Structure 1
Amino acid sequence: MRILKYSFGLLASALVLFSSCRDFVEPNVPYSEFDTGAYLRTIDRTSTTFNLFDLQSSNFALTLEAVDAEDGGTVETVEIRVRHRRLIPGVGLEYTPEDDVLVRTLEASDFAPNSESRFLRTSFEIPASEAVSAVGLSFDDIEGGDVFEFRLVLNDRFGRSFSTNNVTTNIAGAPFYASPFQYNVSVVCPSDLGGTYQFDATETFCGETFSGEITWTPVESSPGSYELSDGTFGAWDACYPDSWGSGDVRINDACNILTMTGTDKYGDSYSMTVVSSTPEELTLAWENTFGEFGTVVVYSNDGKPWPDLQ
């Protein structure tokens, strides 16, 4: 009897196993009938900023890879569209025009084989002048901090379109896909004020005048900001004496407009104004919330004149 039960158990197990394997090998899901889409993988962001001080030479440039069921062969055209965006303090974002406009169209013939993958690739470059003209503006209308929103629309030969309105977050943001279909090109003002400088303190809160040396160290996490080795430009040492210590005061360069922010080791805040600026001399007047103040003339280094600072 035990042999019969054992044999029956083996038979039942075999039937279950056979049934399970059969379901796995021949699923009822019609994968062969699934539709497939297309996307543009970002291979290289060659240039994604416009230099406010050199708009004529600035450009937006990418290398893209067309990914679809035919290794890029279904792509018919890619529209490159653009609009201008500006943040108005107290108001919000202002778009010019309200809806993006066509600035260029890539044809299927612009995509070609490459030695690195089986998918067709293309590279393009949009000069800043072309983008500015497309949105109905001129170089004089552009300010630092403005953004040009470039949006791509992939049209395939089946009449379908793929863009920001129907891309998933995974396709847009995951490193493997890297296909956002939109690229924000910021108008930046490159800043290069880091260095060690000689200065003359021509006025201080205690009446002392003296010469010294100060270092402006670029803040990596905040482009355009420079941490000062001494926010009082040596005035504490000359007047008390007291050392600068753990204070964190910075000079910030926003498109050649300088401001001072931060606090000293006692918690007092700092600010400054630019009295005058020439290629050789930068005159600053600083003060803090404790009532201390000073005026300094900071001299540029050889071969690196001051820009037109305000």
Structure 2
Amino acid sequence: MMKNKNILIVMLGLIVGVFGCADPDLAPILTFDDAKKAGYVKLIEESDKLVNVLDEQSARASTYTYSVEFVDQQNGQRVEEYYVNLVYEPVSGSDQTVDKLISFTQADFVDGPNGLRAKENISVTGDQIMNALGLSFADLSPGDNFVFKGYLTFEGDGAVYGADNASAAVNGSAFAGHFDFTLPAACPSDLTGSYDYDGSLFWCNAGSGSGQVDIVAQGGGVYHFSDWSFGAYTSCYGGIDNSTSLTFTDVCTEVSFTGTVDKYGDTWNFTSTIVGNDWTIIWDNTYGESGSAVIHYTGGANWPITLN
């Protein structure tokens, strides 16, 4: 970590030496290989990144919108072209590439909010992606990735810069570099909330208990329960001592248990069924603990998930 910090300090020192009072917006342009005076793509704002593969209509209507500005020694004036290639990385099968799915020249740019040349409200749709790759909806699978690789071409020498020949400082979050980005094929998932449950069959013969359990999002459709014992730890030990490494994952409404080892190294086994409003989970682990719970979906509605 110190090595990286020292490199960044040296590069920033070079910038101050060249420009005098360094402009923070121009600071990273000398962190490219060999300290060439180039430039980079800087993110202004963006929407959620997702190709929703719940159904074909949702997939084709999925839209990612973003705005960027171009950082160089002349406030983006040296950028001749900004283009983005698409690389399709399916869960199974071979990668495919489409060159210049997106392409803009200086004539398409505007003066951005920070005094730099910018391109605002760039949109990429699922329909555009599928058509460019020649894919049908049936070809898509959750877990596929659509990787976008951006490049800048500069006037004069025609030099081309992208993430591959930019420094870690430019590509990192500190300078909001946005050469490359990825749209995953997935489904939006939001199961967060508090749910009533009825627990029973506790291993310590403490009877049963009812209460509320929280489903907590960990990102990317991964969740954990606030109490995986569903009241058993409270009855048997007097409190909750749980591990967030125990997780389940929702992939386009299909749920599976994906994290089964707790913080003590014990493995948990789950038998699960969903019928209407009731999600029944019977569990045990290698420490000898066990129990059962019926979790009720809010408002008496059916659970909007199935089990994988």
Provide the TM-score with structure 1 as the length reference: 0.69
8 Å CA contact retained: 2:201, 2:291? yes
* Cα distance in 2 between the residues matched to 1:287 and 1:138: 43
Counterpart in 2 of 1:246?
241
Distance 1:248 1:118, change over 3 A: closer
Distance 1:216 1:143, change over 3 A: farther
Counterpart in 2 of 1:42?
43
1:218 deviates by 1.3
* Cα distance in 2 between the residues matched to 1:208 and 1:141: 51
8 Å CA contact retained: 2:76, 2:117? yes
* Cα distance in 2 between the residues matched to 1:212 and 1:35: 65
Distance 1:77 1:222, change over 3 A: closer
Counterpart in 2 of 1:127?
125
* Cα distance in 2 between the residues matched to 1:165 and 1:263: 39
| Match for residue 226 of structure 2 among 207, 225, 228 | 228
Counterpart in 1 of 2:163?
164
Counterpart in 1 of 2:256?
258
Counterpart in 2 of 1:58?
62
User: Secondary structure of 1:81's partner?
Assistant: strand
Q: Deviations over 1:4-23 (max 9, x none)?
A: xxxxxxxxxxxxxxxxxxxx
Distance 1:204 1:141, change over 3 A: farther
| Match for residue 88 of structure 2 among 84, 89, 100 | 84
User: Secondary structure of 1:131's partner?
Assistant: helix
Distance 1:168 1:304, change over 3 A: farther
Distance 1:156 1:236, change over 3 A: closer
* Cα distance in 2 between the residues matched to 1:206 and 1:232: 12
1:193 deviates by 2.4
Q: Deviations over 1:148-184 (max 9, x none)?
A: 21011222343332223433333333623x3352112
Unmatched segments (≥5 aa) in structure 1: 1-33, 89-93
User: Secondary structure of 2:60's partner?
Assistant: helix
1:220 deviates by 4.9
Distance 1:48 1:195, change over 3 A: closer
Counterpart in 2 of 1:282?
279
Q: Deviations over 1:222-260 (max 9, x none)?
A: 86222332x33335667xx54453232634223132316
- Pair 1:111-2:109 in alignment: yes
Counterpart in 1 of 2:16?
none
1:127 deviates by 0.8
User: Secondary structure of 2:293's partner?
Assistant: strand
User: Secondary structure of 2:279's partner?
Assistant: strand
- Pair 1:307-2:282 in alignment: no
1:288 deviates by 1.9
When Rg is computed on C-alpha atoms for both structures, the one with the higher figure is: 1
* Cα distance in 1 between the residues matched to 2:124 and 2:220: 28
Distance 1:73 1:281, change over 3 A: same
What letter matches 1:58 in structure 2? S
Give matches, 1:190-229, under 5 Å. 190-201=188-199, 212-218=210-216, 220=218, 224-229=222-227
Count of equivalent residues: 265
1:301 deviates by 0.7
User: Secondary structure of 2:304's partner?
Assistant: coil
Unmatched segments (≥5 aa) in structure 2: 1-34
* Cα distance in 2 between the residues matched to 1:213 and 1:52: 35
Counterpart in 1 of 2:134?
136
1:188 deviates by 4.0
Q: Deviations over 1:104-158 (max 9, x none)?
A: 22232321113x2221111201012222332333333333333221011222343
1:55 deviates by 2.7
Provide the TM-score with structure 2 as the length reference: 0.70
* Cα distance in 2 between the residues matched to 1:56 and 1:303: 33
